[in-house]
Amino acid sequence: MAHIILASSSPRRQELLSQLGLVFDVVSPAIDETVQDAETVIDYVERLAREKAHAVLTQFPDAIVIAADTSLSFAGKILGKPESKQHAFEMWSQLSGQWHDVFSGVCVASLTRTCSTVVRTQVELQTLSYAEMEKYWATGEPMGKAGGYAIQGIAARYIPQIRGSYSNVVGLPLHETVQLLERVKA
């Protein structure tokens, strides 16, 4: 059986991958996550997933590497992780009462084959009051999360519905990851 490495330090991705019953190691690569000029969210998340996978593959050439990157898109803009309380409130104000898209780029790579895809899920965020934003910020949950929320956590109370993959919104679309893994192993 091939040695599998998850190229992510995200506890959420580790939990999701563990649900599949896979045995894997974790190596978190350091890559530049700056959005390039005129880069779409689809191109951005796929590029980062591929860069993460290949960065780890250069260290462990006999492994199969699984990498992912997740970002939100609203009104044509990429919304990443909040850099501050003010930044989180700005994002939530934009998303409040609206649908937005969550995109994850997933890449599975070995020395002989690289496969990647991008998965889109639509998420509705209820209209948030300033008091709700304050209360949610105080939980500490928003930091380090794309869009400043964790659907698998307290933020679930603010999300009436989604269209698409739940695990994608958490950070790793499992169905598609398994498909890519099978293609790379073949």
Catalytic residue numbers read: 69
Residue 30 corresponds to which tokens in the numbers above?
């350091």
Measured in residues, the chain has a length of: 186
Q: Which residues contact 157 (CB under 8 A, 6 or more apart)?
A: none
Inter-axis angle of helices 11-19 and 174-185, nearest 10: 70
* Pairing outcome for strands 4-6 and 64-74: parallel
Rounded to whole angstroms, how far apart are CA atoms 186 and 23?
Answer: 18
Rounded to whole angstroms, what are the CA distances from 86 to 4, 146, 158?
Answer: 39, 15, 19
Q: Strand pairing of 99-109 and 114-124?
A: antiparallel
